[in-house]
Structure 1
Amino acid sequence: MPQQLDLGELQVGSAKYGFNQQYTGYLTHVHSTANEINEVVDPDHSTPDSRRQHRIACENAKFDQEYYMENYLNDEDIQPLIKHPLSTDTLSDPEFTATEQQTMVNLPSKTLLISNKQAVYLGMVDLLFAYSLELRSHLGELTIESAWAIGAVSSTLSNLEQFSTLRETCVASYRRGLAYTLYRHWDLCERAMDDVRVICQNGRRAILKVFLDLKRVFDEHDVYYVYSKLFLDDYCVWLQVGASDEVLKSLADKLAHIEVEQEEVEWDLDVLEDRVLMSSDSEAEEEEKEEEKEEPMRRPLIEML
């Protein structure tokens, strides 16, 4: 069952966050809870700039060179994830289950006056990427850890980020996809972002289907349900009455043409990959030399036989 927040206990700070930057006070006591998604030091007294700077610092600290190189070299378990087909739930005209229909009926009735439409669409892209990457990482299934995993990858949830361009949204998504996930592989991030493109191309109903699933996952968590109140409930309302299929298709077209470069993500990924390849070549040469040394020792035995 969805958890209830006691609105009377909310303490108001100066910062605004959440969907359309319209909430405050919801994260006042976040550090006294078991919220492992949040990275903002003092959400209710933060600024967009301080949150962004801290997010980038957290990502830099979290990125693990050895982890990345290991996944780059030994990707036998990752390749099937990349090749896995996209769920049929993301079709352009999906069916809604009885539970999903009831969830939509139970959504708060409100008029959403969007002050920054671009930020709302970009936040949607960020959340779709986090969801798609988690879904693809488990061959189309979500797990008991999925609320945390999605929240950790989403800059919108973990750092209350508000993006201003599609490129910076994609770059941030890749950075977190390479620093916080179980599988940290460039091609897996590329495939997840292509999933986002397909979902956007399929329009509002396909995206609403995803956000209803996101809401279900977060509603069921004892701590992370707060993100439904801050973001997901309003996204589910907005996708029904405010989002534009024309804008979504334009967004899908932009995603098809945007190409994130490794240099934008930083962390010298190309250098790390070259190091892995050189090390792999060196090991292969050593094995060859060992085999050559052993060959003369085998010959006398063969001749005796």
Structure 2
Amino acid sequence: MITPAFELTQDPDFLTIVIKVPYARASEFDVYFEGEDFKFYAKPYFLRLTLPGRIVEDGREKASYNTDKGTFTIRLPKEIPGQYFEGLDMLTSLLAPKKSRSAKPLVEEIAASAELSEEEEEEFDWEIEQTPCKDSAESSIPQYCYGFGNLRSGVFQRLQDELSDVIDIKDPDQTPVDERRRKRLEAESAKFEPDHYLADFFEDEAVQHVLKYKPWWVDAHKKMTALKGESHQDQVTHTVGENIFVFSEEEREQLRKFTNKSYLLDKRSRHHVYLGLIDILLAYCYEVRVNEGDKNVESSWNIRKLSATLCWLEGFTNVHDVLVSFGRRVMCYPLYRHFELVTRAFSDTVMILQLGKAAVLKCLLDIHKIFMENDPAYILNDLFITDYCIWIQKAKSKKLAALSESLQKTTLTKSHIGFELEELEAAAVLVQEEESMLKAAGRVSRQQLPSSESETSDSEESSSTSSETEGSDSDEPESSTSEDGKINSVQDTLQEERTAPLIDCNGLRQGTNTSTFEVSDEKSKVSLQSTTPGKLIAELEKQMHTAIRLSEQPEGSGTPGSVLQEQDENRVSESDRLSEDTDGKGNYLEVSSKTNPLLFLCGTNEDED
């Protein structure tokens, strides 16, 4: 038998069921309804529904068949006119017969076999839970639970290859919940990057753009608020779900493929399920907003990475812990790490919960589809999302309303996240202010620069000229410190001789401007040309005339030889005086090259004609 596609609608007095049965014979069909049970048969289609309210056969029922579309439309009167049937969109729940519901968790519900009587069903339970035999070594190792309602364990022992691509916790079967939380907090603290956060904080054009995007639930929430204002009824949320949240054919097909299950959850497990639902919806709202409703290859990664329930198999204890965990993960992992995205996802989740379980189911079906199309993430469907899709159809609307109120009353600030975000922002603002002040001061100095540029350039030119002059005066590098000390002492001694007329060892002034003095010390040779003024030349001529007259003196007044001998004695005494300021050999005198040095050579053994 084939379960046909179907949908249910209602008005105050009637329940309408539309069943799609293409290629079926319109003349051969059977319809049965009584109380909450409805059955339809048209070969090869069979449909059995457990309705959320009672219907009655009173002559007002009608049925019609559209041959073009291949659909049966059946209108059935309600037993209590005006009664609202809740959960008509929850197709998986409607397909489950009430009598076959199991008290054990995660057990598939099957219809009772027609061959068994009620006594046989009561004597033997076909759905008894069977536990496989385990070795004593395996049973000694503790295994911790996870998944929807903490009803799974040992799953990742069989899925080691896919483990690293799906969740961040290593070896979850042997890791308790407290240890998972501690490791998660350490990983988040190590992953946080202040530079990335501050970049998104100051350059937030892209973030502001995605914040302006309006998902489908924003308009739906506005319509629900308007209807509440008009009717002032508590059931407005349900009617909005009926009128707005129309499931697509693809979504209906997803619901038909789910196998109905019942979940036996204690109070603690139910608490974890509701808090895990908030965590998953927060991650989904972030993903929808940053991608503006489109899906890409990163969609699966975004949802499971931002949800600690999916990524770390976390079990929360209160709503505030859920918000803090989501805020920390937004600051660490996705492309856009901005606190306003955290608060916007928070308000989006409140809207979805206020819209009721039809809106929540629509989001869960979308997550299920995203994970199904991603190879490693399908494991999360088996652990969480499929069970959430089945469970939410039977959840009480009052519970979701209370959950949305509790979430709306919870506050989240940057200080709660724990990364010192406010301190980072304050420090960055101070740095920005200092940079702006420096830039302003730079602009002022550039405006004053033209008036002082000429002086600066003149001083630079004079300094460069003096350095070039000094470089040209000295052909060799400067001597060491000790040598400079010796030379400077000689310079002080010969200061007067540098300014006085030059006198050679014979008592004659040197007046030629082409005479060259060559000297060498321990390291260098210096060649200088002396440019004596014209006055010295005139004095030199006078000295030459005097020498000639002395050579022509008469006898008795002295011979030229005696005059020359006296000059030789004077020359020796002068040489002795100069040797005191030389290196002790009587050969060289040197003045520092920094002041146009003049080097003297005094030949003591020189003959003169």
The one of the two structures with greater contact order (alpha-carbon pairs below 8 A, sep at least 6) is: 1
Instruction: Classify the secondary structure of the residue corresponding to 2:332.
Output: coil
Which ranges of structure 2 fall in alignment gaps of 5 or more residues?
1-131, 133-137, 221-239, 452-609
Counterparts of residues 12-23 of structure 1 (less than 5 Å): 14-23=143-152
- Is residue 89–residue 209 contact of structure 1 (8 Å, CA) maintained in 2? no
What is the match of residue 229 of structure 1?
382
Distance in structure 2 (CA, Å) of the matches to 1:298 and 1:206:
70
Bigger CA radius of gyration: 2
Distance in structure 2 (CA, Å) of the matches to 1:278 and 1:202:
44
Distance in structure 2 (CA, Å) of the matches to 1:267 and 1:236:
35
1:179 and 2:308 matched: no
Q: For residue 89 of structure 1, report the CA deviation from its aligned partner.
A: 8.4
* Percent sequence identity over aligned pairs: 29
What is the match of residue 183 of structure 2?
54
- Is residue 26–residue 226 contact of structure 1 (8 Å, CA) maintained in 2? no
Distance in structure 2 (CA, Å) of the matches to 1:51 and 1:29:
20
1:42 and 2:193 matched: no
Counterparts of residues 286-301 of structure 1 (less than 5 Å): 286-296=438-448
In 2 relative to 1, CA 20–90 (structure 1 residues): closer, same or farther, beyond 3 Å?
Answer: farther
In 2 relative to 1, CA 90–25 (structure 1 residues): closer, same or farther, beyond 3 Å?
Answer: farther
Q: For residue 167 of structure 1, report the CA deviation from its aligned partner.
A: 0.6
TM-score in terms of structure 2 length: 0.46
Instruction: Classify the secondary structure of the residue corresponding to 1:33.
Output: helix
1:100 and 2:262 matched: no
2:264 to 113, 117, 121: 113
Deviations 1:45-83 (A, max 9, x none): 111111111111111111111111111111111111122
- Is residue 35–residue 224 contact of structure 1 (8 Å, CA) maintained in 2? no
- Is residue 215–residue 292 contact of structure 2 (8 Å, CA) maintained in 1? no
Deviations 1:111-136 (A, max 9, x none): 11222211111000000000111111
1:197 and 2:350 matched: yes
Structure with the higher helix share, 1 or 2: 1
- Is residue 217–residue 352 contact of structure 2 (8 Å, CA) maintained in 1? no
What is the match of residue 316 of structure 2?
163
State the aligned residue count.
290
2:215 to 75, 86, 90: 86
Instruction: Classify the secondary structure of the residue corresponding to 1:36.
Output: helix
In 2 relative to 1, CA 64–225 (structure 1 residues): closer, same or farther, beyond 3 Å?
Answer: same
Q: For residue 90 of structure 1, report the CA deviation from its aligned partner.
A: 8.1
What is the match of residue 153 of structure 2?
24
Distance in structure 2 (CA, Å) of the matches to 1:250 and 1:239:
15
Q: Give the RMSD, CA atoms, in angstroms.
A: 2.2
Q: For residue 24 of structure 1, report the CA deviation from its aligned partner.
A: 1.7
**Match of 2:252, as an amino acid?**
Q
Structure with the higher strand share, 1 or 2: 2
In 2 relative to 1, CA 138–76 (structure 1 residues): closer, same or farther, beyond 3 Å?
Answer: same
- Is residue 73–residue 276 contact of structure 1 (8 Å, CA) maintained in 2? no
1:77 and 2:206 matched: yes
Deviations 1:254-302 (A, max 9, x none): 2222111222210111111111211221222122222222334589xxx
**Match of 2:251, as an amino acid?**
E
- Is residue 36–residue 148 contact of structure 1 (8 Å, CA) maintained in 2? no
- Is residue 217–residue 351 contact of structure 2 (8 Å, CA) maintained in 1? no
2:436 to 284, 290, 303: 284
Q: For residue 247 of structure 1, report the CA deviation from its aligned partner.
A: 1.8
Deviations 1:117-173 (A, max 9, x none): 111110000000001111111122221111111101100011001111001111111
**Match of 2:380, as an amino acid?**
Y
**Match of 2:426, as an amino acid?**
D
1:218 and 2:371 matched: yes
Q: For residue 35 of structure 1, report the CA deviation from its aligned partner.
A: 3.8
In 2 relative to 1, CA 52–227 (structure 1 residues): closer, same or farther, beyond 3 Å?
Answer: same
In 2 relative to 1, CA 276–230 (structure 1 residues): closer, same or farther, beyond 3 Å?
Answer: same
Q: For residue 29 of structure 1, report the CA deviation from its aligned partner.
A: 5.2
Distance in structure 2 (CA, Å) of the matches to 1:160 and 1:189:
21
Distance in structure 2 (CA, Å) of the matches to 1:195 and 1:298:
60
TM-score in terms of structure 1 length: 0.89
**Match of 2:324, as an amino acid?**
V
Distance in structure 2 (CA, Å) of the matches to 1:247 and 1:85:
27
Distance in structure 2 (CA, Å) of the matches to 1:90 and 1:129:
18
Instruction: Classify the secondary structure of the residue corresponding to 1:141.
Output: coil
Distance in structure 2 (CA, Å) of the matches to 1:251 and 1:90:
21
- Is residue 165–residue 376 contact of structure 2 (8 Å, CA) maintained in 1? no
Distance in structure 1 (CA, Å) of the matches to 2:442 and 2:363:
54
- Is residue 275–residue 319 contact of structure 2 (8 Å, CA) maintained in 1? yes
- Is residue 35–residue 223 contact of structure 1 (8 Å, CA) maintained in 2? no
**Match of 1:46, as an amino acid?**
T
